[in-house]
């Protein structure tokens, strides 16, 4: 490899040298699965399950979602810390997921990460200078003296002092340590930086300083950011565009302002409604959706959000069933799902088999509680009874299949396609954007800044 | 850092810039080496170079022999703290006057003086080591503070660890200066007693007579009953002083012990270098790559650990006893190899946990993300966190190896007779434990206990020193964080 000097111009990958505003990265149907820990069988964890989006040069693209939605894995896949299972990440004519050798080194030089936890991302046994210098050493950048000079100027650029060169990370506060992490990420003049929740581990008072620093640096150096966060207010503050992830899928993607003002997707709407407005530190944990996200090992067959969606489409012929009864059916399905996921110890299985009581309520108890004082029309009663029979044997999967066949709607059967939802190239994945159904906004409570 | 303005200067430039403190250290070191050069060369030459030489191809063996000759020559150079300068061998005339000893002192006094001087010399080395650390820290290191400072500070305040260090220091000095510390030499007293002779004053003839050491030994045996006993701190009838008494064969126990310390230390250190090196390499590889590599080494180490270590070593040393390998260093090399080969799984298990833990830290991901090579990542970002744990377990294991070697020698396996080994002294004295010759078994036994305890104490001290948990509340971090300035 040639020795890139301080005045390096070429990035080494043709696609990286595009003009601001042009597409830098185009992610297509990217999938990252983790093999399950079990030696035999077991479903892989589908952390990222087919996402597509573009990243434009010079912009900040936010990725938001609850913890476990795959946003961090997505970021790590883009910088090749995880191997993609399928799909591609195009940079010009190159596919990042397939790069090797010199091209991979070129990508590594141009794609950097700022990690979430500054306590864990800096090696305590190295001085700050050594830490920031290491990427320069790896890529044989300039002469040793030039490298030291560059480290000093980087330290100054991120708001530290030159004499911090010979200090150890122990001697710094969390905010300062994160500045060191930023300096390290910028050492090689990267084009693309993944910011993996860079401020969520910091004191609230320091968060704004770090965010402002990141924005200043972006402006000065023309950086492209992928900003991963679960804090919506931070995203609204810093991002040009936002992708909302749920269960390894991008549910909605669009310009920040429009998306926050008038969220189109039911999941985005649920996410935003959970944020009490005046409190900037609110986390999504306060969201009050029914149940928990399904396991990424076994995602729903239709829409990823279908198990919890408050505005899920009813199947044909059931539009007139009253809301509470329909809700009871959804709860019944959710309960069966939860049971099928719960780990059962061998002794519990044995107790169940012998008809003893276990910590799981029997299916009949559940049915009793949900449906006892309800008049169920025959078209519902029948599938519920059949599912109860099936589940009584301790195997919920056939029961769930049956319920889906009989009482499932398009949301349960088909993954929704991306629909353009306004003039700004915003996309949302929801069947309700089809003409034949009502828009989410029309059926749910009103959400967003516009109200 | 205070004196050098140019922060970019390399260590070399900083040394050139301000050479005085470094030169002072160097001068002291030079003096220390000069007065004992022969002894140091002797130590080097006492290692089992035959093993190395035998493994070399033919034409190199000639060269090796030349080097060995030079080495032996150097080993023969006069040294300050040697037997020939401060001699404790001599005889007493009826008038009470001592002939042949250093300045006419009694052999006991001469011997004690030499021992005291040698330990003082060793202690000066210890001080010089500490001093050069301070000189480096204060004059040549850029960083005002480094994590290692805290560790050193914690160890300095750890009295149990310091106690261990003192014991190990005493043991190492005993091993290194074994030839000079004994009241007589292995050669003259133990290995070839009929090739050496001593002079003594005979009351029968009324004059100075000469006698073979072997014959003299025959008259100074410790066999419990019948007045045949030379106990600790006693003279035998040929005016020879025995600090620890004599063996049943009449040989000097202290000389035997000092030489045995050398053998024990060699086997312990060599086997641990072997086992520890393997353990660290495997631990880093398994923690970095995980998966199949980990599984393979787990299976290998489990298979080894499923075997009873001492039984395997006994069997193997018996099987190998007839081969050339068994003769290297009187069987020491075989023992070191066997203890190393069977010992790494234990050490590996001990450091695998810390290695896995550090492999989960995000700085490993950071290194991967900018394309650092795996070998460098392991060395720079993982090894420093693992090596402390290795030291802890190595010092605990070293005690075990010493006991193991002593046990094997006790059983008549292990080190070939007549090469001194502590276990054989215990074994030789066993029939006399309940007699006036109790010292033969008891003193080596006590020494083994003390040395093993010392290694354990040292291990405890290191653990508390590197474990940041033990000073979470000292405020050191807050103080230094404040010194860094506000974010
Ligand atoms: S497709 Fe159906 S389940 Fe999914 S978000 Fe839209 S309405 Fe809800």
pLDDT at A41 over 60: no
Ligand 1 center to A26 CA (angstroms): 26
Q: For all residues of chain A together, what is the average pLDDT?
A: 86
Q: What digits encode the pLDDT tens for the residues B82-115? A: 788 888 888 888 888 888 888 888 999 999 999 9
Preceding amide of A204 cis, omega within 30:
no
> Chain A, 242-271: which have a CB under 8 Å from a chain B CB?
none
In a domain? residue A278: no
Pair (A235, A351) in one structural domain: no
Chain A contact set for B477 (CB, 8 A): 170-171
Q: Residue A117: which of B142, B362, B477 has the nearest Cβ?
A: B362
**Domain at A256, CATH number:** 3.40.50.300
**If you count residue pairs, one on A and one on B, with CB atoms under 8 Å apart, how many are there?**
108
In a domain? residue A86: yes
| A171 contacts B481? CB cut-off 8 A | yes
Which residues have C-beta atoms less than 6 Å from ligand 1?
A 266, 303, 305-306, 309, 311-313, 411, 416, 430-432
| A206 contacts B363? CB cut-off 8 A | no
How far apart CA A317 and CA A437 sit, in angstroms, is 14
In a domain? residue A195: yes
Pair (A168, A34) in one structural domain: yes
Per-residue pLDDT, A268: 92
Chain A contact set for B366 (CB, 8 A): 113, 115, 121, 181, 184
Pair (A229, A327) in one structural domain: no
Ligand 1 center to A411 CA (angstroms): 6
How far apart CA A244 and CA B107 sit, in angstroms, is 90
Domain B254-480: top CATH class: mainly alpha
Residues across chain A = 451
Per-residue pLDDT, A51: 94
Query: What is the nearest CA distance from A158 to chain B, expressed in angstroms?
Result: 11
Query: What is the nearest CA distance from A122 to chain B, expressed in angstroms?
Result: 5
Chain B contact set for A138 (CB, 8 A): 370-373, 376
Mutate to test the interface with B, among A125, A127, A189, A196 (most CBs of B within 10 A): A125
The verdict on A162 touching B (C-beta cutoff 8 Å) is: yes
How far apart CA B241 and CA B230 sit, in angstroms, is 10
Q: What digits encode the pLDDT tens for the residues B156-176? A: 999 999 999 999 999 999 998
How far apart CA B448 and CA B404 sit, in angstroms, is 11
Per-residue pLDDT, A13: 83
Neighbouring residues of B423: CB distance < 8 A, sequence distance ≥ 6? B405, B406, B407, B408, B409, B410, B411, B414, B415, B444
How far apart CA A13 and CA A99 sit, in angstroms, is 11
How far apart CA A228 and CA A231 sit, in angstroms, is 9
Alpha carbon of residue B454 to chain centroid = 12
**Quick one: pLDDT band at residue B4, thresholds 50, 70, 90?**
very low
The verdict on A340 touching B (C-beta cutoff 8 Å) is: no
Ligand 1 center to A432 CA (angstroms): 7
Query: What is the nearest CA distance from B473 to chain A, expressed in angstroms?
Result: 14
In a domain? residue A1: no
Q: What digits encode the pLDDT tens for the residues A364-388? A: 888 888 887 777 888 888 888 888 8
The number of beta carbons lying within 10 Å of the beta carbon of residue A174 is 18
How far apart CA A7 and CA A11 sit, in angstroms, is 11
Per-residue pLDDT, A335: 85
Q: What percentage of residues in chain A have a pLDDT greater than 70?
A: 86
Pair (A238, A158) in one structural domain: yes
**Quick one: pLDDT band at residue B455, thresholds 50, 70, 90?**
very high
Closest residue in B to A168 (Cα) is B146
Pair (A331, A222) in one structural domain: no
Q: What digits encode the pLDDT tens for the residues A197-230? A: 999 999 988 999 999 999 999 999 999 999 999 8
In a domain? residue A312: no
ipTM of the complex: 0.84
pLDDT at A360 over 50: yes
Helix, coil or strand: residue A216: helix
pLDDT mean over A284-307: 78
What is the 8-class DSSP label of residue A240?
A: S
In a domain? residue A87: yes
Q: Residue B142: which of A134, A166, A206 has the nearest Cβ?
A: A166
Residue whose CB lies within 8 A of the most ligand 1 atoms, among A250, A252, A266, for a mutation test: A266
Structure tokens at B482: 């404040």
| B362 contacts A104? CB cut-off 8 A | no
pLDDT at A300 over 80: yes
**Quick one: pLDDT band at residue B70, thresholds 50, 70, 90?**
confident
Closest residue in A to B384 (Cα) is A125
How far apart CA B430 and CA B438 sit, in angstroms, is 8
pLDDT at A147 over 60: yes
Query: What is the nearest CA distance from A115 to chain B, expressed in angstroms?
Result: 7
**Quick one: pLDDT band at residue B3, thresholds 50, 70, 90?**
very low
Helix, coil or strand: residue A138: helix
pLDDT at A284 over 50: no
Neighbouring residues of A15: CB distance < 8 A, sequence distance ≥ 6? A24, A90, A91, A92, A93, A94
pLDDT at B326 over 90: no
Q: Are A30 and A226 in contact (CB under 8 A)?
A: no
pLDDT mean over A103-117: 93
How far apart CA B130 and CA B22 sit, in angstroms, is 13
Per-residue pLDDT, A52: 95
Mutate to test the interface with B, among A149, A167, A210 (most CBs of B within 10 A): A167
**B12 vs A419 pLDDT, higher one:** A419
- Residue extents of the structural domains in chain B: 186-251, 254-480
A37 lies in which domain range?
10-261
Q: Are A261 and A449 in contact (CB under 8 A)?
A: yes
The verdict on A114 touching B (C-beta cutoff 8 Å) is: no
Overall domain count for chain A:
2
Q: What digits encode the pLDDT tens for the residues B376-389? A: 999 999 999 999 89
List of E strands, A57-102: 60-64, 86-91, 94-95
pLDDT mean over A317-321: 83
The verdict on A72 touching B (C-beta cutoff 8 Å) is: no
pLDDT mean over B391-401: 90
In a domain? residue A14: yes
pLDDT at B481 over 70: no
Q: What percentage of residues in chain B have a pLDDT greater than 70?
A: 91
How far apart CA B228 and CA B250 sit, in angstroms, is 10
Q: Residue A170: which of B142, B147, B366 has the nearest Cβ?
A: B147
Per-residue pLDDT, B134: 93
Residue whose CB lies within 8 A of the most ligand 1 atoms, among A244, A307, A312, for a mutation test: A312
Closest residue in A to B361 (Cα) is A120
Residue B477 CA: distances (Å) to CA of A169, B283, B394, B483: 10, 30, 30, 10
**Quick one: pLDDT band at residue A282, thresholds 50, 70, 90?**
very low
Query: What is the nearest CA distance from B279 to chain A, expressed in angstroms?
Result: 22
In a domain? residue A424: no
């Amino acid at each position: 490899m040639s020795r890139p000097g301080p005045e390096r111009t070429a990035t080494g990958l043709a696609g990286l040298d595009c003009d601001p505003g042009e597409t830098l990265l185009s992610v297509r149907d990217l999938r990252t699965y983790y093999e399950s820990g079990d030696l035999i069988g077991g479903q892989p964890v589908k952390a990222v399950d087919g996402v597509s989006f573009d990243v434009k040069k010079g912009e900040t693209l936010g990725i938001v979602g609850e913890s476990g939605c795959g946003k961090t894995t997505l970021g790590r896949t883009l910088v090749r810390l995880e191997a993609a299972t399928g799909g591609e990440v195009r940079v010009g004519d190159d596919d990042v997921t397939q790069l090797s050798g010199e091209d991979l080194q070129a990508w590594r030089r141009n794609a950097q990460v700022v990690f979430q936890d500054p306590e864990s991302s800096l090696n305590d046994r190295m001085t700050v200078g050594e830490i920031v210098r290491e990427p320069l050493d790896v890529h044989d950048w300039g002469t040793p003296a030039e490298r030291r000079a560059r480290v000093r100027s980087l330290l100054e650029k991120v708001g530290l002092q030159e004499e911090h060169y010979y200090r150890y990370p122990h001697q710094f506060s969390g905010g300062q340590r994160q500045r060191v992490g930023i300096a390290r990420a910028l050492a090689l003049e990267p084009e693309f930086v993944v910011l993996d929740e860079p401020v969520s581990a910091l004191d609230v008072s320091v968060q704004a300083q770090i965010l402002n620093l990141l924005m200043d640096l972006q402006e000065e150096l023309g950086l492209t950011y992928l900003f991963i966060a679960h804090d919506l207010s931070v995203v609204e503050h810093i991002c040009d565009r936002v992708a909302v992830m749920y269960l390894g899928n991008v549910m909605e993607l669009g310009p920040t302002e429009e998306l926050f003002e008038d969220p189109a997707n039911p999941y985005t709407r649920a996410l935003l409604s959970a944020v009490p407005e005046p409190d900037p530190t609110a986390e999504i944990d306060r969201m009050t959706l029914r149940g928990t996200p399904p396991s990424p090992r076994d995602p729903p067959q239709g829409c990823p959000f279908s198990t919890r969606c408050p505005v899920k489409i009813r199947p044909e012929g059931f539009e007139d069933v009253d809301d509470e009864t329909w809700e009871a059916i959804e709860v019944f399905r959710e309960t069966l799902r939860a049971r099928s996921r719960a780990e059962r110890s061998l002794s519990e299985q044995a107790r169940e088999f012998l008809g003893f009581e276990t910590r799981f309520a029997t299916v009949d108890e559940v049915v009793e509680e949900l449906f006892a004082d309800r008049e169920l029309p025959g078209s519902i009663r029948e599938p519920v009874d059949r599912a109860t029979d099936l589940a009584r044997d301790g195997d919920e999967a056939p029961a769930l299949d049956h319920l889906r066949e009989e009482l499932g709607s398009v949301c349960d059967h088909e993954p929704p396609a991306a629909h353009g939802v306004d003039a700004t190239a915003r996309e949302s994945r929801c069947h309700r954007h089809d003409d034949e159904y009502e828009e989410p906004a029309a059926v749910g409570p009103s959400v967003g800044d516009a109200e | 850092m205070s004196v050098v303005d140019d922060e970019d200067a390399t260590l070399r430039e900083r040394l050139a810039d301000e050479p005085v403190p470094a030169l002072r250290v160097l001068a002291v070191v030079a003096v220390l080496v000069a007065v004992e050069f022969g002894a140091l060369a002797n130590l080097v030459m006492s290692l089992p170079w035959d093993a190395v030489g035998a493994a070399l191809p033919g034409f190199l063996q000639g060269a090796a022999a030349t080097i060995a000759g030079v080495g032996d020559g150097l080993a023969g150079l006069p040294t300050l703290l040697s037997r020939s300068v401060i001699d404790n061998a001599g005889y007493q005339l009826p008038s009470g006057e001592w002939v042949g000893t250093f300045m006419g002192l009694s052999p006991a006094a001469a011997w004690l003086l030499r021992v005291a001087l040698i330990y003082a010399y060793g202690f000066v080395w210890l001080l010089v080591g500490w001093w050069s650390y301070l000189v480096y820290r204060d004059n040549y290191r850029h960083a005002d503070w480094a994590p290692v400072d805290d560790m050193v500070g914690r160890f300095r305040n750890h009295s149990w660890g310091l106690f261990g260090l003192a014991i190990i220091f005493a043991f190492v000095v005993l091993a290194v200066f074994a030839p000079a510390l004994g009241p007589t030499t292995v050669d003259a007293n133990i290995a070839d007693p009929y090739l050496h002779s001593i002079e003594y004053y005979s009351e029968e003839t009324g004059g100075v007579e000469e006698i073979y050491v072997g014959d003299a030994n025959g008259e100074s045996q410790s066999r419990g009953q019948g007045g045949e006993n030379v106990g600790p701190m006693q003279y035998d009838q040929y005016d020879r002083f025995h600090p620890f008494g004599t063996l049943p064969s009449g040989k000097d126990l202290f000389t035997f012990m000092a030489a045995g310390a050398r053998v024990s230390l060699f086997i312990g250190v060599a086997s641990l270098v072997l086992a520890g090196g393997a353990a660290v390499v495997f631990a880093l590889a398994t923690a970095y790559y995980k998966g199949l590599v980990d599984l393979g080494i787990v299976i290998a180490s489990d298979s080894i650990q499923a075997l009873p270590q001492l039984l395997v070593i006994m069997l193997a040393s018996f099987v190998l006893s007839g081969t050339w390998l068994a003769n290297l260093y009187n069987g020491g090399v075989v023992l070191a190899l066997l203890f190393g080969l069977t010992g790494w799984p234990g050490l590996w298990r001990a450091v695998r946990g810390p290695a896995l833990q550090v492999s989960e830290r995000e700085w490993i991901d950071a290194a991967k993300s900018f394309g650092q090579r795996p070998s460098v990542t392991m060395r720079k970002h993982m090894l420093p966190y693992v090596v402390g744990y290795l030291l802890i377990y190595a010092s605990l294991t070293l005690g075990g190896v010493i006991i193991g070697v002593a046990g094997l020698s006790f059983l008549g396996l292990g080190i070939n007779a007549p090469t001194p080994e502590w276990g054989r002294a215990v074994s030789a004295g066993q029939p006399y434990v309940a007699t006036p010759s109790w010292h033969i078994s008891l003193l080596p036994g006590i020494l083994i206990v003390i040395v093993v305890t010392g290694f354990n104490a040292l291990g405890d001290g290191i653990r508390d020193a590197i474990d940041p948990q033990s000073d979470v509340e000292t405020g050191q971090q807050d103080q230094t964080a404040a010194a860094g300035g506000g974010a």
